[in-house]
Amino acid sequence: MNIALRLTIVGLAATCLVGIGCNKQPAADVIKVGEFASLTGKEANFGNSSHQGTLLAIEELNAAGGVLGKKLELITEDDLTKAGEPATVVNKLISRDGVVAVLGEVASSRSLEAAPICQQNKIPMISPSSTNPEVTKTGDYIFRVCFIDPFQGTVMANFATKKLKAKKVGIFTDVKSDYSKGLAKFFKESFVASGGQVIAELDFNGGDKDFKAQLTSIKSAGPDAVFVPGYYTDVALICIQAKQLGLNVPLFGGDGWEGEDLVKIGQDAVEGHYFSTHYHPDVGSPKSTAFVEAYKKRWKNADGSPKVPDAMAALGYDSAMILADAMKRAGTMDGTKVRDMLAATKDFDAVTGRITINSQRDATKSAVILQVKGGTFKYVETINP
C-alpha cells in the first residue's frame, strides 16, 4: 500500500468520525434526559428492565404532550456492567449531550460512581433502584425512588425469624459490591438484635464461578437458612452449587436476585428460595395495572410473548415520572429549581406505591417478598415500613 493511499484512508476515517460526532444538532424544543444502565454484561437484566420502564414513561409523557410544551428525549448510555464505565458515560451525557437530569443505575456501586459527577455539575440524578444508603448521601442533587437497605435488611431479618423460623443463619457476601456489603451488615444487625445467631460469614467476589469452598464451610456450621445478598448471576451459580453440596436449607436475599436469568441459569436449583424486592405486578393499585398492560404491549420477550414488568422496570418508570412531575412544578429546566421540586415530592401516585421523598432524598416504601416457584417469582407478602 503506498503512502498516498494510506493517507486517503486515514483521512476518510477521520471524516467519518467527525461526521458522526457532529450530526446531533442541539434542538431547542426538546428536553434532554440522560440515562445510564447496564444494558449488556453480567447484570444486563437489570439495565434492560430499568431502561424499558424508563423509555415507556418517556413515550407516554411525550404522547400526552410532553413537559412544559416540549418533548422529552431520552439519551441512554450502556455502562457494560463495568466499574469505571458509569463515570465515563455520565460525564459524556452531561458535558457533550447537555442533559438536564440523569436517571440510573440499578446497582449501588455504579450509582455511587456517577453521583459525585452529577452533584458537581448540579444536575439532578434519580436512581431508580439503588438501595445502598450511601448513594443519596453523596449530595443534595441525588435522589432515589426506592427504599434503602437498612429497611430491606430488617425486612429480611424479620422474615428469617418469623417465616423461616431460623435461629442460626449463614451470610454469604459479595465483597466486590457496595450493595451486598451494606445489605449484609444491616441484615446482621437486625437479625442479631431480634435474638438470632449468625454462625458463618463467608465472602465471595462477584463474577466468581466456584463457591463450593465457602458453601462447604457454611454447611458444616449447620445453619437453618443462608442469607445471600448478591446479584442474580452469582446467586444462580451459588444455588446450583449449594444444591450439589446438599445444603438443603432455604437461601434468601434481596432485590438483587430479581432478574429473569436467575431462573434461566439456576433452573431447579433456585426453586423454593426467597427474596425481597420493591414491587410485584400481581399486587398493586389501578396505576400499576395500567402500567403492566402498557408494558406488556410495548415490550416482548425473546420468544415474542408479552414481557411482564419486574420491580426494576416499574422503578425505572417511576423515576422518569417523578422527574417529569418535578419539572412541571418547577416550570423550568434549571437544575437547582428541579432539585428543589424533587425534594418537595409528596404523595406522588407511582406504580410502586405512593412516593414521598424524605429529608435524606430517599423514598419510604413497602417491600414485597417473593418466592421462586415453578420457574417464576410468586408473591408471598407485603411488608410496610
Q: Which class for 277: exposed (0-12), middle (13-18), buried (19 or more C-beta within 10 A)?
A: buried
Distances (CA, A) of 341 to 145, 329, 331, 332: 14, 7, 10, 11
Q: List the one residue from 41, 66, 116, 335 that touches another protein (CB under 8 A).
A: 41
Q: Find the shortest distance in angstroms from Cβ 302 to another protein.
A: 11
Interface with another protein, residue 177, by CB under 8 A:
no
Q: List the one residue from 31, 33, 37, 44 that touches another protein (CB under 8 A).
A: 44
Q: List the one residue from 8, 15, 244, 336 that touches another protein (CB under 8 A).
A: 244
Interface with another protein, residue 213, by CB under 8 A:
yes
Shorter beta-carbon distance to another protein: residue 210 or 282: 210
H or E segment at 356? none
Scan residues 257-276 and list those touching another protein (CB under 8 A): 261, 264-265, 267
Interface with another protein, residue 80, by CB under 8 A:
yes
Interface with another protein, residue 57, by CB under 8 A:
no
> Residue 31 in 3-state DSSP?
strand
H or E segment at 64? none
Distances (CA, A) of 255 to 229, 293, 371: 8, 23, 12
Shorter beta-carbon distance to another protein: residue 40 or 119: 40
How many residues line the site for another protein (CB under 8 A)?
34
Distances (CA, A) of 112 to 14, 118, 138, 178: 35, 10, 8, 9
Q: State the DSSP string of 81-140.
A: T-TTHHHHHHHHIIIII--SEEE--SSHHHHHHHHHHHHHTT--EEESS---THHHHT-T
Interface with another protein, residue 180, by CB under 8 A:
no
Shorter beta-carbon distance to another protein: residue 79 or 318: 79
Shorter beta-carbon distance to another protein: residue 88 or 267: 267
Scan residues 218-237 and list those touching another protein (CB under 8 A): 220, 233, 236-237
The single-letter code of the amino acid at 38 is S
Interface with another protein, residue 372, by CB under 8 A:
no
Interface with another protein, residue 376, by CB under 8 A:
no
Grid cell, residue 201, equals 460469614
For binding to another protein (CB under 8 A), which residues are involved?
40-42, 44, 80-81, 175, 200-205, 207-210, 212-214, 216-217, 220, 233, 236-237, 240, 244-246, 261, 264-265, 267
